[in-house]
Amino acid sequence: MKLYNTVDKQILREKLLQSNEERVTLSFYKYYQIGNPAIFRHHIYYYWSQLGVMGRIYVANEGINAQISLPKTQFDAFKNALHDITFLEGVRLNIAIEDDGKSFFKLKIKVKNKIVADGLNDASFDVTDGGQHVDAAQFNELSNNDNTIIVDMRNHYESEVGHFENAICPDVDTFRESLPIIADQLAEKKDKQIVMYCTGGIRCEKASAYMKHKGFKNVFQLDGGIIEYTRQTRNLGLPNKFKGKNFVFDERLSERIGEEIISSCSQCEQASDVHKNCQNSACHLLFIQCNTCADKFGNCCSLPCYQYTQLPEEQQIELRKGIFVNAQSYKKGRTSPFLKNKELVAKVEELYNNL
């Protein structure tokens, strides 16, 4: 048995979209010293692939970080197999809030240096000395206190569609950027209660320890992140202080938590909170688009991108030769169509001007 996917991703995506199989989307993580991540990776790929697991899993010496989906009929079998792994026994599974079963279309398990790219030198501080975990009720109580500062540990494109009331939302592209920025921004407020949150909790494990290392005494982290907070508020009838959508890193791109739409279309600026990846494969920009602009630009981020997608495939291939496509997210005032592919934009515009 090959321990990696060998089928074209477009074929797998179409198969998933056409399937009526009921699937469950979930995530989990665990910091734990794994002696040989490569062997562990092969072990779980072999067994989980037989249960129909799809998703993205990172394995490192420091532990595991997983976002997956699996058939509902295999949920109990997967849970038993997961808990048979000693350090994962009893690990919390964050079940998706909104789920159509179309979140992942293949199984991908990678061995990494870290399970989250945090840019930290773990040897420079005690990464296990994290903030105090708080549940939804405790989080709400803390948020009502004037001495509390709430910090969003996610990237700008995550927080722009949804965040907690009065939260500080750093204008960053990556998690590693946010840590020094937040520490500097709050340097004169070390007497405050710092409450940190992220999607499922994993980023706050080290972020809270980092803040304590920087001299912050009263550091808290939302246990289970936004996903668990939502589950608890719904099950216990607690006030929901999260506004908008929760961004997720799979085919769904988001799940609705609050009814408010707090963001706007990247193109026309009318209210919208629907993230898209530009349909132009030579761009693939992550941006927000309303239905009107989606129809106008064919789910593309700009007119040149739309025009490019209308060309014959052979011509598209010829035009993008030598073009490097790097995943980027849209920021008003900074991002232009194709971002780094201005040469391709010029080619497409010249082509259409000569028609």
- Enzyme catalytic residues: 198
Phi-psi region of 339 (alpha: psi -120 to 50; beta: other; left: phi over 0): left
Q: Are 71 and 39 within 8 A, CB to CB?
A: no
Instruction: Look at strands 132-134 and 218-222 and give their pairing.
Output: parallel
> What phi, psi does 213 have (nearest 5°)?
-60, -30
User: Which 3 state secondary structure label does DSSP give 292?
Assistant: helix
How would you classify the pairing of strands 107-111 and 54-60? parallel
Beta strands in the chain (DSSP E): 23-31, 54-60, 63-71, 94-95, 107-111, 132-134, 148-152, 162-164, 193-197, 218-222, 242-247, 254-256, 275-277, 286-288
Residue 247: phi, psi to the nearest 5? -70, 135
Q: Token pair of 114, please?
A: 């870290």
Whose tokens are 């992942």? That residue is 104
Alpha helices, DSSP H, located in 269-323: 291-297, 303-309, 313-319
CA distance 339 to 341: 6
Residue 94's SS3 state is strand
HEC string of 141-153? HHHCCCCEEEEEC
- Pairing mode of beta strands 254-256, 242-247: antiparallel
Q: Which two tokens stand for residue 342?
A: 């201005």
